[in-house]
Structure 1
Amino acid sequence: MTPITSIVVATDFSIDGNNAVRRAALLAHEHGARLKLVHVLDPTGCKPLRDWFSPSIDIDLKAAQARESLRRFAVEIAGRYDVTATVEVVVGELLESLMQASERAELLVLGRRGHSRFQALLVGRTVDRLLRTCRRPVLVVKTSVEGAYRRVLVPVDFTAPSLAAVQVAARLARDSSMHVFHSINSHREAVLRETDMPEHVIRESRLRRDAGTIARMRRQAARLGLDSTRMGFAVAHGHPVWSTLRHARWLGADLIVAGKQGRSTLGEFLLGSVSRRVLAESSCDMLIVPQPCKKPLAHATSPQMRLAEPAGQVDTAALARSAAALAGALTPAQWPETAERSLSRRLP
C-alpha cells in the first residue's frame, strides 16, 4: 500500500492538542510524509484588549506567541522523530480555518479536546459539521504517544465507505495487526423463534451466517489487494456501536478506523449522538474516513449487505424455510405448515 504523503495537525497547545502533534509527527516519520503544524486563532477571543488598544495589537501578540510555540514544537519534533515540520498560525473561524489548512493534505489530525473553543470541537455540532464536510480522513487522538499503533480495529458493513476505511487503515498502520469486524444487528433470530424453530436450528443458522460473513470479509480484503492471511476477522451480534466498543476493549485496540455516511446503522457510526457516545466511551484513537467520491458499488445496497433489515420487509416464511433446510430440521413436506404459522405473525 502507498504511504501517506502529507499530514496536517491542529493544536491549541493543550495536553490533547500536543498529543495530536506528537502522533502526527510519528506518523510522518513512519511514512516519510510532509507535516504542517497549525494553530487557529479566533479573533473574537481578543475582544477585551480591543476595548483599550488598537484592534490589531492583541491579535498580533497572540499570533506571535502561537507561532513561537509552534516553532518550539517543530524543533522538538525534528530531534525526536527526525521530521522537519512547517508551521502556520491562522486567524479565523475554527471549522473553516481547519478545512482550508488541510485542503491539500491526505490526513487531518486533531486532539480529543482542549481549552477555549477547541474544547467544543468534539462535542455538539462542530464535529458533526467537520466530519460531514471534510473530504479527507480525520484522526482524533485520545491518548499519549507511546509508539506506533499495534492493533487496529476496522468495523465494516460492506458499503463503499467501510471498504474505504479498510484501505486507509492498511495505508496508515502498515506494520500493525489489523482486525476487520462486522456487527450483525438484525431480527433474524427473533423471527426464527417466532416460528417455533428448535434452538439447534437457530444456532446452526447463526453459525452458518457467521462463517459466511467472515468468508465475505476475506474476499473483500482480497479484492482490495490486501493479504487477508495477515488480518484478523471477527463477527459479533448486537448493536453495532456497543459491539464495536466491546470488541475494541477485548482486542486491546489502540486505533479504530471507521467509514462515515454509509447506508446502514454502522454507516451512521460517526454522526449525531452516536458519535458523541463512541468518542466519549472508547479509550483509543479514532480515524474517520470520508465516503469515496465515486458512487457505491451497485450490489452495496442489497438487503444481504445491511446490518439490519426493516421489520416490514422481513419474509418470515422464507427465512424459516431456509433456516430449517440448512439445519435439516424440517422436510419439504413440513414447510407449508411452518410458512402458514409464520405468516400469521409479524415482528413488533
Structure 2
Amino acid sequence: MTPIHNIVVATDFSPGAAAAVERAVQVAQTHGAVLRLLHAFDASAWHSLQGVFDPRRLSLEPPPDVQIKRRLNDLCASLATQTGLQVEAHFSVGKADAAIWAYVAAHNTALLVIGARAELSILGLGSTASRLVRAPYCPVLVVRCASERPYGTVLASVDLSAQTKRAATVAMGLFPAAEHHLALALGPGAQASVHAQALHDLDQFARSLSANAQHSAVAEVLDDVPARALLERAAALPADCVVIGHHGHDGGTEVQLGNMAQQVLQHTLRDVLLVP
C-alpha cells in the first residue's frame, strides 16, 4: 500500500466532528502523517442568520469568520502540542462539500475523515456527509463513534471483485494493528458447493493479504443479503469499522453509491471506510 503521508479531517466543531478529529489523530499517529484540519465557512448561510439575530449585538463581536479562524488555529496548536504531530489548519469559504473536495484534490490526500452527523446519537448521515460519500476522490472514513482507542476489529465486505479486494487492502494498511475480518455474503439458499468454493477463494485472498500483516485476516462467508449480513455481523463481532468498496468517479462523472453501501451507512452504529 502507498505510504500514508497526508490526512485531512473536516471539522465544524460539533460533537460529530470532534469524534472525527479524534479518530484522524489516531490514524495520523499510526503512520506519522501530517494532519490537516479543514473548516469550510458557508458565507451564504451566515448572511441568512443575520436576519435572525440582533445585528447590534453581532456588531460588537468579531466577524464569524475571524472567530472560526481563531478557534481552528487554537485547535491545531493544541493537537500539535498534545500529539507531537505536524498539524495544519486550513480555512476555506464556500459550500462544505465542494470546498472539502477541492482541498483534498489539491493536497494528494491519502484519507479524508468526516463525522457522520453533527450529533453522534443520530443514525444515518448528515447532508454534507451524504454528498461527500457519493463520489469520493480518496478513501473516506465516516466516523460516528467517539473512542480513545484505535480500531480493534475491522469488517470488510469482499465479493472478490478487484474493487472490494482493494478496499480490504487499503483498510489493512490504514489500520495495521486491528484484526481484519473479510465477509462475503452469498445470499440465502446458496448451494453447499457454492458456499465451499466462495470460502476457499476468500480464504486464499485472506492469506495473501495477511502475508506481512500483524494479524491474519479471517475469511467468512455469510448466507444472507449483503447489507443485512454485514450489519448483523458487524454488530455480532463487534466491529469498530466496516469497510466497503466504492466505484467513486468514473471519467469525471459521479457514480451512484451502491444500495448495500447506502443501507450500511444509514443503519450501522459503526464507523465506515469507503474506498474508491
User: TM-score normalised to the size of structure 1?
Assistant: 0.67
- The equivalent of 1:109 in structure 2 is 113
* 1:34 aligned onto 2:34: yes
- The equivalent of 2:182 in structure 1 is 180
* 1:74 aligned onto 2:81: no
Taking the aligned partners of 2:36 and 2:111, their CA distance within structure 1 comes to: 11
Taking the aligned partners of 1:218 and 1:274, their CA distance within structure 2 comes to: 23
- The equivalent of 2:251 in structure 1 is none
CA contact (8 A) 2:227 2:261 kept: no
* Cα distance, 1:4 vs structure 2: 1.5
Taking the aligned partners of 1:21 and 1:40, their CA distance within structure 2 comes to: 15
Amino-acid identity (%):
30
CA contact (8 A) 2:157 2:182 kept: yes
Structure 1: where are the runs of 5+ without partners? 190-204, 263-269, 291-348
Taking the aligned partners of 2:67 and 2:41, their CA distance within structure 1 comes to: 11
Taking the aligned partners of 1:216 and 1:231, their CA distance within structure 2 comes to: 13
- The equivalent of 2:157 in structure 1 is 155
* 1:249 aligned onto 2:252: no
Cα deviation digits, residues 45-79 of structure 1 (max 9, x gap): 221548998xxx99x82222112112222233224
Taking the aligned partners of 1:105 and 1:227, their CA distance within structure 2 comes to: 24
Residue identity matched to 2:125: L
* Cα distance, 1:146 vs structure 2: 1.9
* Cα distance, 1:132 vs structure 2: 3.4
Residue identity matched to 2:231: L
Taking the aligned partners of 1:133 and 1:282, their CA distance within structure 2 comes to: 20
Task: Kindly indicate which of the two structures has a greater share of residues assigned to helix.
Answer: 1
Residue identity matched to 1:141: V
RMSD: 3.0
Q: Secondary structure of the residue that 1:133 maps to in structure 2? A: coil
Taking the aligned partners of 1:123 and 1:273, their CA distance within structure 2 comes to: 18
Give the number of aligned pairs. 258
Residue identity matched to 1:114: A
Residues 171 and 184 (structure 1), Cα distance of their counterparts in 2 relative to 1, 3 Å cut: same
User: TM-score normalised to the size of structure 2?
Assistant: 0.83
Residue identity matched to 1:215: H
**Equivalent residue in structure 2 for 1:99, among 98, 101, 109:** 101
- The equivalent of 2:9 in structure 1 is 9
Cα deviation digits, residues 211-264 of structure 1 (max 9, x gap): 3212211323455574588111111111100000111111110011110139xx
CA contact (8 A) 2:203 2:218 kept: no
Residues 30 and 250 (structure 1), Cα distance of their counterparts in 2 relative to 1, 3 Å cut: same
Residue identity matched to 1:234: E
Runs of 4+ in 1 over 3 A off after TM superposition: 48-53, 126-129, 221-229, 272-277
- The equivalent of 2:252 in structure 1 is none
* Cα distance, 1:275 vs structure 2: 4.4
Structure 2: where are the runs of 5+ without partners? 249-255
* Cα distance, 1:127 vs structure 2: 4.5
Taking the aligned partners of 1:167 and 1:65, their CA distance within structure 2 comes to: 41
- Which structure has more relative contact order (CA 8 Å, sep 6+)? It is 2
Taking the aligned partners of 1:148 and 1:111, their CA distance within structure 2 comes to: 16
- The equivalent of 1:218 in structure 2 is 203
- The equivalent of 1:260 in structure 2 is 246
